[in-house]
Chain A
Amino acid sequence: ETGVTQTPRHLVMGMTNKKSLKCEQHLGHNAMYWYKQSAKKPLELMFVYSLEERVENNSVPSRFSPECPNSSHLFLHLHTLQPEDSALYLCASSQDLALAYNEQFFGPGTRLTVL
């Protein structure tokens, strides 16, 4: 595997379900991100991790719970979601938060539908 991978690619869940999204980066990066992409809205940053520590949580509802067990893996745990949470969830990684270049590399995304 190369780059940033995400599983599953598609997920349909009911409002009472619990599921998790997984992201893995094979680039040796230190920073990882979760984004939400909804139709007709700019990309929204949800969480940022640097060296496995959360550095930003942009007022995301508690029904979204991130986990970063090591610098290569990032999870997004989902529970009691709402239909408006249906979106494309993108994971990204970058070499380091503070580096001048800090280009972010994105995974293919998980298309989430909440019924």
Chain B
Amino acid sequence: GENVEQHPSTLSVQEGDSAVIKCTYSDSASNYFPWYKQELGKGPQLIIDIRSNVGEKKDQRIAVTLNKTAKHFSLHITETQPEDSAVYFCAADAGANSKLTFGKGITLSVRP
């Protein structure tokens, strides 16, 4: 089955700096890669996703890049703000049956 890994488990950046969170997956048949943000006491919220037919997608301060050859994708957050502090999960589908497998999450802290 699909194996999704995120490293490192924590990331701390200064407000205004950029943050990059990386994710690797194992199933070459995967073609859908979402990123979820989870704030304390809440459920994960979809913030951006990408499909395998594109290499990059951008939405205001966030972007996702995909490298299918290397089987990794990354979340880029520019001009970070304290409200970006949260746990970020990447996920990948399992090809034909499309169930999502989530990474363990990374805790992003934005220092004011």
A, B in one complex: no
Binding site for B on A (CB under 8 A): none
Q: Which residues of B contact A (CB under 8 A)?
A: none
